[in-house]
Amino acid sequence: MNILPTQEWGLGLGPITHISGPCSAETPEQVMETCTQLSQYPVDILRAGIWKPRTRPNSFEGVGSIGLKWLKDAGKATGKPVCAEVANVKHVYEALRSGIDIMWIGARTTTNPFAVQEIADALQGVDVPVMVKNPVNPDLKLWIGAIERIYNAGIRKIAAIHRGFSTYDQTRYRNMPQWEIPIELKQQLPDIQVICDPSHICGNRELLARVAQKAYDLNFDGLMIESHINPDKALSDAKQQVTPQRLGEILAGLKRRKPNPDSPQLETRLEVLREMIDDIDHKLIQTLGERMKIARQIGQYKRENNISILQSSRWRELLVDRLAQARQYELSDDIMKYIFQMVHKESIRHQTVVMNMPEEKEKLEG
């Protein structure tokens, strides 16, 4: 594949691309004001969602085509290229007619090869850059497939956007970053630039700077971060949007580390593995928390039925079962026995609290 980097898109972009703007265009004033403020900071491309793919109907589904004009006007006023999401052929035609400089394919669309192919067919013979978000599910082939469909339509100005992957588990992220996937994408398509979208990974403001820094540390080629003049009042993704000023602070606070020239791959690998360990630890704690919640329910049940807390036969059986399972993962009997003794101790503590001091239960659950 011969994919052109952002510097060769003819839009005056450098090797690192910062994209920002509201999740959704809401009013002409909101788009213009957000974009004007953003232009004071190192933002290279302005964004706004025009048609919004919402999980459930009756949420705000975007202002529609009229928003394209508001966005383009903001681009003209600030001298910056603008980008919008397209999810079907009609969107493509309307975006082209409005002079939108860059289109992106959203995560839900990337999951559907029929939809991507229709968009690719509509783009045949058109010279417009396209950014392809990862599919909602962690499927690298599907992501590459979408990029190939756009490429096969003759488009060479392509970038990828990493916005994290959906999971049913409750995690600290809205969408798990699974950094190993975009890194593998880079391995397989070395020409493609990958831009990280911390907003949709985090789903909140608090983690944005950390995820953006991680993307820098892993040598991503840019960031897409949502911003709004009044984030709390945003009609979509309110929790994750920041003011343009806050975006400026986040960008100013990022450190660009020089990759170790002797071992850039090694460092990246190490970063990814560490992030995976962090995620697993987070899940371990969460799982323990859930286990204790059930222990409290057991405590409640025992209390109501006047059953004693400690039942040694159950505990012995449990230990035998857990150690046998642990052996399959080459975990040592001694260490596992110790860990389970500690887990059991903590369970007993939770049960005791519920049995002796029901009012304490409220505190624990709160």
Using CB under 6 A, which of 49, 62, 129, 244 touches ligand PEP?
49
Residue nearer to ligand PEP on the CB measure, 49 or 75: 49
User: What would the DSSP string read from start to end of 99-166?
Assistant: T-SEEEE-HHHHT-HHHHHHHHHHHTT----EEEEPPSSS-HHHHHHHHHHHHHTT---EEEEE--B-
DSSP state of 24: B
* 24 close to 49: Cβ distance less than 8 angstroms: yes
Residue nearer to Mn ion on the CB measure, 9 or 51: 51
237 touching Mn ion, by CB under 5 A? yes
228 touching ligand PEP, by CB under 6 A? no
3-state class (DSSP) for residue 269: helix
Task: Identify what 67 binds: ligand PEP, Mn ion, none; CB under 5 to 8 Å per kind.
Answer: none
Q: Please, which contacts does 67-72 make with residues 24 or more away whose CB atoms are closer than 8 Å? A: 67/24, 67/25, 67/31, 68/94, 68/95, 68/98, 68/100, 69/98, 70/25, 70/27, 70/28, 70/31, 70/32, 71/21, 71/25, 71/31, 71/35, 71/46, 71/98, 71/100, 72/98, 72/99, 72/100
CB of 135 to Mn ion, least distance (A): 16
Using CB under 6 A, which of 18, 174, 200, 214 touches ligand PEP?
200
CB of 237 to Mn ion, least distance (A): 4
Site for Mn ion in 4-33 (CB under 5 A): 23
91 touching ligand PEP, by CB under 6 A? no
Q: How many residues bind Mn ion (CB under 5 A)?
A: 2
Using CB under 6 A, which of 18, 80, 91, 133 touches ligand PEP?
133
Q: Which stretch binds ligand PEP (CB under 6 A): 100-108, 249-257, 282-290, 294-302?
A: 100-108
Rounded CA separation 63/338 (Å) = 59
Q: Which stretch binds ligand PEP (CB under 6 A): 106-114, 116-124, 245-253, 352-360?
A: 106-114
Q: Which two tokens stand for residue 283?
A: 């899940």
Task: Identify what 205 binds: Mn ion, ligand PEP, none; CB under 5 to 8 Å per kind.
Answer: none
Residue nearest to Mn ion (CB): 23
Radius of gyration of the chain from its Cα atoms, rounded to whole angstroms: 25
Task: Identify what 138 binds: ligand PEP, Mn ion, none; CB under 5 to 8 Å per kind.
Answer: none
106 touching ligand PEP, by CB under 6 A? yes
List alpha helices for 189-263, DSSP H. 198-202, 208-217, 244-253
Q: For the chain, give the number of residues.
A: 366
Q: How many residues bind ligand PEP (CB under 6 A)?
A: 9
Q: Please, which contacts does 261-267 make with residues 24 or more away whose CB atoms are closer than 8 Å? A: 264/219
Q: Which stretch binds ligand PEP (CB under 6 A): 72-80, 103-111, 246-254, 352-360?
A: 103-111
234 touching ligand PEP, by CB under 6 A? no
Using CB under 6 A, which of 23, 43, 153, 194 touches ligand PEP?
23
CB of 210 to ligand PEP, least distance (A): 19
Q: Which two tokens stand for residue 137?
A: 């599910």
- Among the listed residues 208, 211, 197, the one whose alpha carbon sits nearest the alpha carbon of residue 243: 208
Query: What residue ranges bind Mn ion (CB under 5 A)?
Result: 23, 237
Q: Where on the chain is the footprint of ligand PEP (CB under 6 A)?
A: 23, 49, 53, 106-108, 133, 163, 200
